[in-house]
Amino acid sequence: MNNSFLQSNQWEEFQKSVGRYVLRIDNQLIIKNNLPLGKSYLTCFKPDILDDKIESFLSQVKDIAKDENCIFFHLEPANSQQRTANRQQQIANSEPRTANSQQRTAKCMQPKQSLILDISKSEEDILSQMHQKTRYNIRLAEKKGVKIRISNDIKDVDLFWELAKDTSSRSEFHFHSKQYYQKMVEILGKKYNILDLIVGEYDNKALVVLIILYYQNQAIYLHGASSNKNRNLMAPYLAQWKAILEAKKRNCKEYDFWGISPLKRESRNSKFEIRNLDHPWNGITKFKLGFAPNGKYIEYPDAQDVVYQKTVYNLYQSYKRVRGR
């Protein structure tokens, strides 16, 4: 069984529900993404492929790419290095190559860095290892009357979507369509019961909504949105804490905070520090580090694009740069 939810059968069904063509090659999930003028590209996130199977795998992908008029295949390796930040980033040991194709290092579409909190310990131990200010803000939100409820009601996607507009207005976060999140709740939440909305409210108004996915022994904080109003109530802190407690109820052993900016630290016993002071995710990274200052830091290898149509690929990349994505 693959360790990533991005290769799961449930994620495959969800991708189908939002209108994407999906297929499996050597049991690895491949997703087709449509582009204008009948073009497209393929993606594969965190597959389980043995080194001696890569050449065969890529040969089969190339055949599909030709049939589907794909300009490139985007691959994000699953093997990761659990690092202290003074170690150099390492790219995956084997680099896929095919005849008449070009391989290029690419920007990851999924988070490249992640922070994982061990939640197998007691509630008291989990709280005690948090940053003091984080514990204070959790208690403050409770004292101020912020209420948290767990939901998989599709109607609550409306609350998430409105808060997503607030979040986009103050930070460089891009959200999917509202229908995307509705299907996520419909398939992963209501049908398979592996996804929750964590809704934080004050005076009957939503201040924060988190989207949490449960897969194997992990809870993954996939998406979050919060209000520009009543930020002094610290609702996101209490929502995260309640999400952690809900994950423990579901017998999860780890809580994956998912996307963060790159970290570093001088030694195993020193604190994590943000590596790039200009990274747009530094604010949310500081927030997440408050919950897991000694958490497990994971940095995945660079993504690889196997390019089949060089001219069109270069035009597409230029277009993305102009759009700032």
One pLDDT digit (tens) per residue for the chain, 325 residues: 568 999 999 999 999 999 999 999 999 999 999 999 999 999 999 998 877 888 999 999 999 999 999 999 999 998 654 433 332 333 333 444 444 568 999 999 999 999 999 999 999 999 999 999 999 999 999 999 999 999 999 999 999 999 999 998 877 778 999 999 999 999 999 999 999 999 999 999 999 999 999 999 999 999 999 999 999 999 999 999 999 999 999 999 999 999 999 999 877 777 898 998 888 899 999 999 999 999 999 999 999 999 999 999 999 999 888 876 5
CB 221 within 8 A of CB 257: yes
**The CATH number of the domain covering residues in 113-298:** 3.40.630.30
* Domain locations in the chain as residue ranges: 5-108+303-323, 113-298
Global confidence as pTM: 0.90
Q: Hey, what CATH topology would domain 5-108+303-323 get?
A: Aminopeptidase (3.40.630)
CA–CA–CA angle 151, 183, 178 (5° rounding): 90
What span, in angstroms and rounded, lies between the C-alpha atoms of 19 and 151? 25
DSSP 186: I
Q: What are phi and psi of 107, to 5 degrees?
A: -75, 135
3-state secondary structure of 246: helix
Same fold, 5-108+303-323 and 113-298: yes
